Structure 1
């Protein structure tokens, strides 16, 4: 697997990027839930909760892929 300038292979970098953005978005969605609840829009608050759960699952899947890649040595020297 090719290793980029960062010391991470492209796939590891991509997974880390998706994981970061999913976790960051999940943090932000907490505020969106509160905003919707404060506006009396439980339907929208429930929607934001579902989106937050989806991003949490996405971040967890990235974590599992990264663990597997590190264990197999497919991630390059930066993830090991």
Structure 2
């Protein structure tokens, strides 16, 4: 399995990256929902809630894939000497 510059295999790195960005975006979207509600824009708040839920599901799915790759294949720890 190819190992990138981080020492993690590419698939593990990619999943961690998508999971991180999905969780970060979900956190940010919470503020966007509040901003839209404060402006009286319920339709926009609902839009932000929808994409927040989509990112939450994306992060959950990444977590499941990472669990499947798990310690048995040692894809969740940096690889030595690669």
State the TM-score, normalizing by the size of structure 1. Answer: 0.89
For the residues of structure 1 that align with 2:53 and 2:76, how far apart are their CA atoms? 30
Aligned length in residues = 79
Mind listing any 5+ residue stretches in structure 1 that lack a counterpart? none
Q: Hey, what's the Cα distance between the residues in 2 that align with 1:60 and 1:3?
A: 24
Alpha carbon RMSD of aligned pairs, Å? 1.7
Listed as ranges, the matches of 1:28-43 within 5 Å are 28-43=28-43
Question: Taking structure 1 as reference, are residues 41 and 76 closer, same or farther at Cα in structure 2, changes over 3 Å only?
Answer: closer
| Unpaired runs of at least 5, structure 2 | none
1:7–1:76: 8 Å Cα contact kept in structure 2? no
> What's the CA shift string for 1:36-68, capped at 9, x where partnerless?
000000011011000000000000000000010
TM-score after normalising by structure 2: 0.87
C-alpha separation in 2, matches of 1:47 and 1:69: 33
SS state of the match for residue 48, structure 2? Answer: helix
